[in-house]
Structure 1
Amino acid sequence: MAPRTTFAAAACTVAAAALFLTACGGGSHDDKIAATTPASTPPPTTTSSSPTPTTAPGAPTFDFPSDVKITIDADTTGDKTKDAILRDQGYGLDATYVAVTKLDKNLPLFTTYMSESALETWSETIDALKKNGHNISGSVHYYDRKVTINGSQAGVTYCENERYLYDKDTKSGKVLTTTPSSDDFILHSSLMRKSKDGTWVTATDNSQEGVARCQP
């Protein structure tokens, strides 16, 4: 099956080359091209009564365009260290999408929260989008985040629903709609490292599409 978007294809190709992803795929493009306004965004796959990381006091400012929405469930645990890891991991996701929408792999927020192979992978993904004349439009939802700690390192597993995330042609502004697929639901496993200033930074990310745990 053809990759769902240039964005998804680039991420899968680059990550697979770096031995991050265990599976890549996604639904195929529809022949229809949508207008500038993307398809309506449904409610998140899961809900949380806790605030998302980006609403916390002192959170960085993430400047998303009006046609991109990133929802990250707080998934707080009550453990101070684990919640700090989830907070910074959420910041890393937000920072990555801001870098993608700006097509700027040198964005300071992005290089603050992403490092090592994760930074390299997403930087190459941004380069691939620019080369293809594409950006993104729509919504992504992250949920069911869980943390394990091992000293100055931690693992975070989490789910992603990218069913309503689409490619957008940067010249025309038109959005390419896609056929829904179970591969739109992705399970991630990230390695986080604690930096000298106390920030938890994403170092690597492994992903597998179509995992039952992440599907509604």
Structure 2
Amino acid sequence: MAKHGKKFRAALAMYEPEKSYPLSEATAILKKAAFAKFNETVDLDLRLGVDPRHADQQVRGTVSLPHGTGKTVRVAVFAKGEKALEAEKAGAELVGAEDLVAKVAGGFTEFDAAISTPDMMGQVGKLGKVLGPRGLMPNPKTGTVTMDVTKAIAEIKGGKVEFRVDKTGNVHVPVGKIQFTPEQLAENTQVMLDALHRAKPAAAKGIYMRSISISSTMSPGVKIAFSATKVESEVSVT
């Protein structure tokens, strides 16, 4: 087992690692324990009571965080003609049709989100082996296969986040940056948790959210208190 550094051990000493805390307290602890010299990403980590091997127990969706992610999102848009011009005006960093498909097929993935117009999906669909493992494949269920590219770009750049359960039944998703206030982190986290509750598959039985924690890039995780049906939080989201 790797030995943790002095700063990591000092962060652990600021709270009880095995204790679960209300959401607002957990984000305050995370802020206090942060020690890195850069603006770390804050991640929400969950273990769900689902079996992703079954199609009817997949958990996937999108949610717009009230305070955004704090990250500059690079958007690639697969489109041609007027829709390509529309995407460029809306602020997409990469726009193209067959040329962009060929570039990505060659291994280029220097972007954080991808959008496609429906007419391009016949070609974009062939990029599954490149985009799929990175969570970048456009999907109509997440609003990234659309003719309204302006709206899709605005949502992604404004803090829209996609979440998806992995093959081990876990979800790892960013909810902000460590320079956010504890209140901003708590509000973003609560919105994400609410979205995950709404995405619970009907086929999932027993306890749905089995463990929840929040951490930053370099810090240890802080456990969030919860019950089988509702996260215990002082944060109210309407």
Same-fold call, TM cutoff 0.5: no
TM range (shorter): under 0.3
Bigger Cα Rg? 2
> Normalising to structure 2: TM-score of the pair?
0.23
Higher RCO (C-alpha 8 Å, min separation 6): 2
Higher strand share: 1
Give the TM-score of the pair, scaled to structure 1: 0.24
